[in-house]
Amino acid sequence: MTTPAPLLSVRDLTVEFRRDRSWLRALHGVSFDVFEGETVGVVGESGSGKSVTVQSLMGLLPARSSRLAAGSAVFAGRDILRLPRRELRRIRGKDIAMVFQDPMSSLNPVFTVGYQIAEAIREHNPGLSRETLRERTLAVLSRVELPHPAQAFSTFPFQFSGGMRQRAMIAMAIANAPRLLIADEPTTALDVTIQAQVMQVLQQARGTGSAMLLITHDMGLVAEATDRVIVMYAGRVIETGTTAEVFAAPRHPYTRGLLASRPKLAAAGGRLTPIPGSPPNIASLPGGCAFHPRCALHERHRDPICVDTVPALLPREGAGLVACHLTHLLGSAQREMETT
């Protein structure tokens, strides 16, 4: 059986930011694929590079203070990192759409929700009549389960609650049936009780055909909503695999740390073990493996290779990849969590 071509193929994505007179590297050769219909989670603490990755894919990084040092991102056969701005705008909102953490970053407070969604549809379908536009907009509003779509059509974003606003933004994102939906921390700003509802709406409304890249720091959300997971640390991919395999047997100490610090474990009577220290600043990355100052495995074995050499991303046990010199020394996930 031949593997289908990925819908999005990111290779060696390397991005730098200007700081005074020098350039600081924020992404170090990030590579991953997203296939039609799947949900891929990108996880890591703040500063891991997950948001920079999607912002560079969408052409949203500030042009004056950032630059693409290397890499490609082929979406449906075209490198979107090198498209003229006009063409990228055409793809954005139609073939690739984004759901942000803050709905007000994509909803304009001075226009009604219905008007904005209709405009988003009209931009990519200029010939549609007013009636058809209204019908399509109402259909999209009911897909995100906004009660009374006709009423919601004439409502201003500020008149909605946080959860409703998030639904309106999802409606805007799916209005043109994108092939790839990028959701950047879509539920982080919401109450815990609303988070699950909004996530369910997002999953249902996008339909089965489109793929989703879900950016989050929430491992619980990754477990529930994704097929595959990409774990990032200090601007690099450090582990990838199917969500089931990575959660059952994480092969990188950082992934294990993220799993051990999930509040769910503590609630179930397990120990909540935060990862010691904090993520490094890109201006002063530790040498070798950037995780070594916080790594329990390095602490135990003190192998100089961790301090001297950046680990390559290599095939992990089962499917997927891992970047750790000492991954072979890790026991089962449970055992490691118990001794961390």
By three-state DSSP, how is residue 158 classified? Answer: helix
Binding mask 248-267 for ligand SF4 (x = CB under 6 A): ----xx--------------
Q: Does 246 sit near ligand SF4 (CB under 6 A)?
A: no
Q: Give how far Cα 164 sits from Cα of 146, 194, 311, Å.
A: 7, 10, 44
* CB closer to ligand SF4 out of 114 and 279: 279
Among 98, 138, 326, 333, binds ligand SF4 (CB under 6 A): 326
Q: Under the criterion CB under 6 A, does residue 324 sit at the interface with ligand SF4?
A: yes
The pattern of x and - marking residues 264 through 303 that bind ligand SF4 according to CB under 6 A reads -------------------------x-xx--x-xx-----
∠ CA 93-76-222 to the nearest 5 degrees? Answer: 70
Q: How do strand 96-99 and strand 314-315 relate by DSSP bridges?
A: unpaired
CA distance 292 to 332: 20
* 236-242 and 321-322 beta bridge pairing: antiparallel
Taking the complex as a whole, the smallest distance from the CB of residue 261 to ligand SF4 amounts, in Å, to 16
- Does position 333 bind ligand SF4 by CB under 6 A? no
The whole-angstrom separation of Cα 201 and Cα 99 is 12
Residue 335 CB, nearest distance to ligand SF4 (Å)? Answer: 16
CB of 233 to ligand SF4, least distance (A): 9
In the chain, the largest separation of any two C-alpha atoms, in whole Å, equals 69
Q: Which two tokens stand for residue 97?
A: 């759409």
SS3 state at 179: coil
Considering beta carbons, is residue 17 or 291 the nearer one to ligand SF4? 291
Residue pair 284/249 in contact by the 8 Å Cβ criterion: no
User: Is residue 169 part of the contact set for ligand SF4 (CB under 6 A)?
Assistant: no
Binding of residue 236 to ligand SF4 (CB under 6 A): no
Site track 304-323 with ligand SF4 (rule: CB under 6 A), x = hit: --x----x------------
Binding positions for ligand SF4, rule: CB under 6 A: 252-253, 289, 291-292, 295, 297-298, 306, 311, 324-326
